[in-house]
């Protein structure tokens, strides 16, 4: 039987506010345990939550970016469950009336096709604390620094049909929230987490299969692996005559498997009801208009502009707009050098290769964008050749200065003096009469031999175009 995979994602983006969603406690990462949890976060008697308007502004910003309806009136609810890292015994979230309702996001598939993924909702909620299970001699420790941290939970429609589509969607959301500057997207610190709802059904079947929810996947690579494992697990169970249980599962990256965590709760298990301590959230058109004015250029808009203004291919534009930092870096190199195509080649090529090799983000590049732009400019103005530029770039990466300093220090300036190049060619021809005779008898491939010898004689500094033109003339006699 042929099976179809059905995937929906719930993405939790930690909003980049300085304080928590209902208290004034700091959200800064890395503090000592339980030093950033105030009386409100600890649910002390008599305390009352106060909504952080920056969190609302960021939620609206996201909603506008995906074409959602911004609810003029939304309601906070209490989601009741009991767990050690939830001091109140409930989580303040939004249920029936979320702030962001409906929306769409386009993703690009491997074959270049554009697929539209529906966004069901995005709602505001508070994060829980964190349970720590190591170094407590059989007990668990609780760190409540995260308790009350503002989250935007972005819930998709079950529109994805493969792990690759799910990863593409998650990466697009990740780029979007970073472009909007509403989330830093740091998956290692838990600022961006994914829950994947995965089910399978016979090809052509309209009814959804029983789903399993894979919780808190914190990397795109693990998301793809977890979904693929879960799909195979479900297919094997069904084909063996078993049935899928609706449950929450965890992904074990070391074993590359998912394992059962608990049976999946339904909404009624949480006994949602409006929070009596919080008034309904009302957002007027003036507020929305103010947020709209603060919107940056979004990834898809930037991609179209790169194609139009810089004459880049759709692929190059897609790569260069994948992150806000990459786009800024490229545009700086293009502006300094005056050559968008070369700027794209160097940003996507030599620079990205070394960044990947050393596991660095482009914002951590040892070669600033202005310096790479200066290097590309020296290729454009024929100060150095593209080949020599690679040597210069390596020296720049090692901290030996900008392009001009390296070129001057190592004597790498390109030879553009026709007389000097011609003199080198004459010497090569005179030293290789046999190869000259063979070339003139029709062995055209020997042209490369003479180019190599001439380059060697000029220490790779001869201008390639000039060298080729002069060499052709000389070899023809």
Mean pLDDT confidence for 236-256: 93
Q: How sure is the predictor about 412, in pLDDT bands with cuts at 50, 70 and 90? A: confident
Q: How sure is the predictor about 135, in pLDDT bands with cuts at 50, 70 and 90? A: confident
Strand order in the sheet with 100-108: 69-70, 100-108, 114-126, 150-156, 3-14, 192-202, 212-217, 247-252, 257-263
Q: How far apart are CA 2 and CA 235, in angstroms?
A: 10
The secondary element (H helix, E strand) that includes residue 469 is helix 464-476
Res 192: pLDDT: 96
Q: 299: which 2 tokens?
A: 């990834």
Contact criterion met (CB below 8 Å) for 329 and 362: yes
Contact criterion met (CB below 8 Å) for 304 and 106: no
Question: Per residue in 28-56, pLDDT tens?
Answer: 999 999 999 999 999 999 999 999 999 99
Closest CA to 197 of 68, 62, 5: 5
Q: Is the pLDDT of residue 420 over 70?
A: no
Closest CA to 145 of 125, 167, 127: 127
Question: Per residue in 185-209, pLDDT tens?
Answer: 999 899 999 999 999 999 999 999 9
- Identity of the highest mean pLDDT range in 133-142, 264-273, 379-388, 448-457: 379-388
Closest CA to 119 of 95, 154, 86: 154
Q: Is the pLDDT of residue 417 over 60?
A: no
Q: Is the pLDDT of residue 418 over 80?
A: no
Q: How sure is the predictor about 471, in pLDDT bands with cuts at 50, 70 and 90? A: confident
Fill in the DSSP letter of residue 66. Answer: T
Contacts of 191 (CB under 8 A, 6+ apart): 13, 14, 29, 183, 184, 185
Beta-bridged to residue 202, according to DSSP, are: 3
Kindly state the greatest CA–CA separation across the chain: 99
Contact criterion met (CB below 8 Å) for 396 and 371: yes
Q: How sure is the predictor about 444, in pLDDT bands with cuts at 50, 70 and 90? A: confident
Query: Which residue spans within 234-299 are E strands per DSSP?
Result: 247-252, 257-263, 273-274, 281-282
Q: How far apart are CA 385 and CA 415, in angstroms?
A: 9
Mean pLDDT of the residues in the chain:
92
Closest CA to 388 of 463, 460, 466, 464: 460
Res 477: pLDDT: 64
Question: Per residue in 61-70, pLDDT tens?
Answer: 999 999 999 9
Task: Tell me which residue has tokens 């099976």.
Answer: 3
Res 83: pLDDT: 85
Q: 297 exposed, middle or buried (CB, 10 Å; 0-12, 13-18, 19+)?
A: middle
Mean pLDDT confidence for 415-425: 69
Please list, residue by residue across 332-363, b when 16 or more beta carbons sit within 10 angstroms of its beta carbon and e when fewer do. Answer: bbbebbebbebbbebbbebbeebbeeeeeebe
Measured between its terminal Cα atoms, the distance across the chain in Å is 72
Q: Where is average pLDDT lowest: 159-163, 170-174, 217-221?
A: 217-221
Res 257: pLDDT: 93
Mean pLDDT confidence for 170-176: 96
Res 415: pLDDT: 60
**H helices present in 213-365, as ranges:** 220-239, 285-293, 299-310, 314-320, 324-337, 340-346, 352-357
Contact criterion met (CB below 8 Å) for 23 and 40: yes
**Hey, is 114 helix, strand or coil?**
strand
Beta-bridged to residue 281, according to DSSP, are: 74
Would the pTM count as exceeding 0.75? yes
Q: How far apart are CA 427 and CA 134, in angstroms?
A: 73
Question: Per residue in 297-353, pLDDT tens?
Answer: 999 999 999 999 999 999 999 999 999 999 999 999 999 999 999 999 999 999 999
């Amino acid at each position: 039987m042929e099976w179809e995979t059905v995937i929906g994602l719930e993405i939790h983006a930690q909003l980049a506010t300085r304080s928590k969603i209902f208290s004034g406690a700091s959200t800064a990462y890395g503090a000592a345990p339980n030093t950033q949890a105030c009386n409100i976060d600890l649910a002390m008697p008599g305390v009352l939550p106060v909504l952080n308007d920056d969190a609302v502004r960021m939620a609206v910003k996201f909603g506008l970016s995906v074409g959602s309806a911004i609810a003029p009136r939304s309601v906070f609810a209490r989601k009741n469950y009991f767990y050690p890292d939830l001091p109140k015994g409930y989580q303040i979230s939004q249920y029936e009336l979320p702030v962001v309702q409906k929306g769409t996001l386009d993703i690009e598939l491997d074959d270049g096709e554009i697929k539209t993924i529906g966004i069901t909702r995005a709602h505001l909620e508070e994060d829980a604390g964190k349970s720590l299970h190591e170094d407590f001699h059989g007990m668990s420790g609780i760190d409540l620094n995260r308790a009350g941290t503002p989250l935007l939970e972005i819930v998709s429609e079950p529109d994805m049909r493969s792990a690759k589509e799910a990863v593409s969607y998650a990466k697009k959301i990740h780029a979007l929230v970073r472009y909007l500057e509403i989330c830093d997207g740091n998956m290692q610190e838990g600022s961006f987490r994914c829950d994947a709802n995965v089910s399978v059904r016979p090809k052509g079947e309209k009814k959804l299969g029983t789903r399993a929810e894979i919780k808190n996947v914190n990397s795109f690579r693990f998301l793809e692996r977890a979904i693929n494992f879960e799909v195979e697990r479900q297919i094997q169970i069904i084909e063996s005559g078993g049935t899928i249980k609706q449950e929450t599962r965890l992904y074990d990256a070391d074993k590359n498997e998912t394992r059962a965590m608990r049976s999946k709760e339904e909404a009624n298990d949480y006994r949602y009801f409006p929070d009596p301590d919080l008034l309904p959230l009302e957002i007027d058109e003036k507020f929305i208009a103010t947020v709209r004015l603060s919107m940056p250029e979004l990834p898809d808009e930037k991609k179209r502009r790169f194609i139009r203004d810089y004459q880049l291919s759709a692929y190059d534009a897609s790569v260069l707009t994948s992150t806000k930092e990459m786009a800024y870096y490229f545009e700086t190199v293009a502006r300094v050098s005056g050559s968008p195509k070369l700027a794209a080649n160097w940003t996507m090529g030599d620079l990205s290769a070394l960044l990947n090799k050393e596991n660095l983000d482009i914002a951590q590049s040892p070669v600033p964008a202005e310096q790479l732009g200066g290097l590309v400019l020296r290729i454009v103005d024929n100060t150095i050749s593209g080949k020599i530029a690679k040597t210069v770039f390596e020296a720049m990466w090692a901290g030996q200065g900008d392009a001009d300093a390296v070129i001057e220090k190592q004597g790498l300036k390109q030879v553009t003096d026709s007389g000097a190049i011609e003199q080198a060619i004459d010497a090569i021809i005179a030293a290789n009469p046999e190869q000259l005779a063979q070339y003139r008898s029709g062995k055209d491939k020997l042209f490369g031999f003479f180019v190599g010898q001439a380059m060697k004689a000029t220490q790779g500094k001869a201008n390639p175009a000039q060298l080729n033109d002069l060499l052709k003339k000389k070899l023809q006699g």
